[in-house]
Amino acid sequence: MCRFLAYCGEPVYLETLVCTPCHSLIEQSMHASEAKTETNGDGFGVGWYSERTEPGRYCEIRPAWSDENLLSICSHVRSHLFFAHVRAATGTAVSRANCHPFKAGRFLFMHNGQVGDWTRLRRRIEAMIPDELYPARTGTTDSEAIFLAALGQGMEQDSVRAFRSVLAQIEREMEATGATAPLRFTATWTDGERVWAVRWASDGKPPSLYWRLGDSGLIVVSEPVDAQRDAWTPIPTGGGLVARLGSRPETFTFH
């Protein structure tokens, strides 16, 4: 699977969460604790918001743990809102186009989970991407397809409803094709102002997801980046969280 991290609050250097903590995302690229796979070495990506409308992005196919560029960028880029992801490929190629966070306009999206029987369902789910967004389909992951499909279903207006709708449609396709492997969707996304995080799976076993209000802002993670486990609140199966910059996060029910 994968491990990811999202931050939203006072501007901090990316390294504060991506590199420095004892169980930082870089550490999780080699030694994740709560993931199905301990190693998440199939590429990585960071995305961050500056004063421009669209976010910046740096992704690479080598493991996060050995990339000097990542360390340097994280120690020099300061942002009020950033995403970071380390990947464990589940069948699709290791390529930049398959690295999270995915970006479209001012949106970023990261996913931890899977569309079961993806090979069989891929075509039907890609068909959910509207024509005008299809050029943005540059990789082959289920994650990117879900993201583009949600954009096509009104993500700009109501992103939670858009993802709900896409997931329901995928479940119908799974039923139609007799796909039995589960659909798992632990994900986080942002429009540059708000951050959403949800945790859901068709078999009730979504990947882990936690959040914490730190000194400077909200942190959403696949697993805690430090040793203070009590400081992190798990998002329950079927739960979600939304936070606007500067406001307390609110929880909601997803699906």
**Whether the Cβ atoms of residue 137 and residue 144 lie closer than 8 Å to each other:** yes
User: Which residue number, 13 or 34, has a Cβ lying nearer to a second copy?
Assistant: 13
- Kindly state the smallest distance separating residue 81's Cβ from a second copy, in Å: 12
DSSP calls for 71-95? HHHHHH-EEEEEEEEEE--SSS--S
Given the DSSP bridges, would you call strands 183-190 and 194-201 parallel, antiparallel or unpaired? Answer: antiparallel
Residues in the chain, overall count: 255
For residue 92, what are its two tokens? Answer: 């699709």
User: Which residue number, 94 or 213, has a Cβ lying nearer to a second copy?
Assistant: 94
90 binds a second copy (CB under 8 A): no
User: Which residue number, 68 or 230, has a Cβ lying nearer to a second copy?
Assistant: 68
User: Which residue number, 50 or 233, has a Cβ lying nearer to a second copy?
Assistant: 50
Site size toward a second copy, by CB under 8 A: 41
For residue 111, what are its two tokens? Answer: 């996913």
* Residue in 9, 41, 182, 239 binding a second copy, rule: CB under 8 A: 41
DSSP calls for 11-31? EEETHHHHTSSTT-HHHHHHH
User: Which residue number, 42 or 173, has a Cβ lying nearer to a second copy?
Assistant: 42
Q: How far apart are CA 127 and CA 102, in angstroms?
A: 18
152 binds a second copy (CB under 8 A): no
Token pair 């398959």 in the structure block, residue: 98
* Residue in 56, 105, 192, 236 binding a second copy, rule: CB under 8 A: 56
* Residue in 44, 58, 83, 107 binding a second copy, rule: CB under 8 A: 58
Q: How far apart are CA 241 and CA 188, in angstroms?
A: 9
b or e along 213-242 (b: 16 or more beta carbons within 10 Å of the residue's beta carbon)?
ebeebbbbbbbbbbeeeeebeebeeebbbb
User: Which residue number, 177 or 247, has a Cβ lying nearer to a second copy?
Assistant: 177
Q: How far apart are CA 88 and CA 102, in angstroms?
A: 15
For residue 201, what are its two tokens? Answer: 């799976």
* Residue in 6, 18, 26, 89 binding a second copy, rule: CB under 8 A: 89
User: Which residue number, 52 or 248, has a Cβ lying nearer to a second copy?
Assistant: 52
60 binds a second copy (CB under 8 A): yes
Q: Select from 50, 34, 47, 24 the least CA-distant residue to 2.
A: 34
42 binds a second copy (CB under 8 A): yes
134 binds a second copy (CB under 8 A): yes
Binding mask of the shown chain, residues 103 to 132, with x at each position contacting a second copy by CB under 8 A: ----------------x--xx-------x-
- Kindly state the smallest distance separating residue 191's Cβ from a second copy, in Å: 17
Interface residues with a second copy (CB under 8 A)?
Answer: 30, 39, 41-42, 48, 50-52, 55-63, 66, 68-69, 72-73, 75-78, 89, 93-97, 119, 122-123, 131, 134-135, 137-138, 140
